[in-house]
Amino acid sequence: MTVTDRRPVFDSRQAFAEELIALARTDERIVAVCNDSVGSSNLVGFRREFPRRLVNVGIAEQDLVGVAAGLANAGKIPFVCAAAPFLTGRALEQIKADVAYSETHVVLCGQSPGMAYGELGPTHHSIEDLSWTRAVAGLDVVVPADPAQTRAAVRWAAASGRPSYLRIPRFKVPGVTPDDAPFERGRSVPLRDGDDVTVIAVGSLVSRALEAAERLQGEGLSVRVINMPFLSPLDEEAVVAAARETRGIVTAEEATVSGGLGAAVASVVVTRHPCPMRILGVPGVFAPTGDTSFLLDHFGLSADGVATAVRELLGHG
């Protein structure tokens, strides 16, 4: 058992809900907009305290985003809360046109992303959302790694004045964010230094990357771990430094390998400082039936999977 194994784990949606309520108490402009998802978006407490500042449009995701854009144009700061697969899949046109192109201060909160819905299957999995949203110009894409970073992301999004997509994790994770870690647009958070290989991870994979680094240290390998909360804009300088200072880069994300974190990092590496890479994620397939932990392990998105990728990159085994 490693140090990471013994840490308590948390549902970041609760941190999101608590921070949203705290902000709403001090800023009357903040409203929540949902698609019949008060319970699953953890908005019960918000509705209880601010019943007139929660708008429930029902199961109509295009209207959900359009209404939020209208509220933003009226001077409100809407937090749009919906399951990530339906928010991004059904309303991508509105996200592009009404939010990003129109430069409205709308905070899109994709709840339960990745494979958090487990046995409900690929129709409810949100593994494409990072690829879709990252492709939209003018939209900041943020993937917090734990409750502390989720709180920081909510505060940042409320104050940013920018269109943004926040991926709010449901899969319980340990705390990994240092107490003094800043949360700045386009900046990564270094969590562990090393000079053999760099692992760049987001969301639920950050804690697993740290666990892999701990295991590999016992094998004499020095692994740098970077938490990359902003996929757009990406911290390109951290990527280039990793490519220059270590022997290769492994990326890890609870998403498809097409167009997400791995693709973003690879585009920087290939143009600025080529180095060996391994991209961990869902490899262009639909998932089998199983709970979230099983699915992450099935696709090698585990501490063992990250460690294996590092060894392969270095030619060890």
Contact (Cβ atoms closer than 8 angstroms) between residue 199 and residue 191:
no
pLDDT for 5: 52
HSE-CB at 288 with a 13 A cutoff on CA atoms is: 8
Are 77 and 148 in contact by the 8 Å Cβ rule? The answer is no
Say what the pLDDT of residue 3 is. 44
pLDDT at 40: 81
Task: Note the pLDDT of residue 86.
Answer: 96
pLDDT in tens, the chain (317 residues): 344 455 788 888 899 999 999 999 999 999 999 998 888 888 999 999 999 999 999 999 999 999 999 999 999 999 999 999 999 999 999 999 999 999 999 999 999 999 999 999 999 999 999 999 999 999 999 999 999 999 999 999 999 999 999 999 887 889 999 999 999 999 999 999 999 999 999 999 999 999 999 999 999 999 999 999 999 999 999 999 999 999 999 999 999 999 999 999 999 999 999 999 999 999 999 999 999 999 999 999 999 999 999 999 999 75
Q: Are residues 229 and 143 in contact, defined by beta-carbon separation less than 8 angstroms?
A: yes
DSSP string computed for the chain: --HHHHS-EE-HHHHHHHHHHHHHHH-TTEEEEESS-TTTTT-HHHHHH-GGGEEE--S-HHHHHHHHHHHHHTT-EEEEEEEHHHHHHHSHHHIIIIIIITT---EEEEES-BTTTGGG-TTT-BSSHHHHHHTSTT-EEE---SHHHHHHHHHHHHHH-S-EEEEE--S-EE--S-TT----TT--EEEE--SSEEEEE-TTHHHHHHHHHHHHHTTT--EEEEE--EEES--HHHHHHHHHHSS-EEEEEEEESSSSHHHHHHHHHHHH----EEEEEE-SS---S--HHHHHHHTT-SHHHHHHHHHHHHT--
* Identity of the residue numbered 4: T
Query: What's the pLDDT at 117?
Result: 93
pTM of the full structure: 0.95
Q: Measure Cα distances from 279 to 45, 195, 292, 313 in Å.
A: 39, 19, 20, 11
Contact between residue 84 and residue 112 where contact means Cβ atoms under 8 Å apart = yes
Contact 168, 20 (CB under 8 A): no
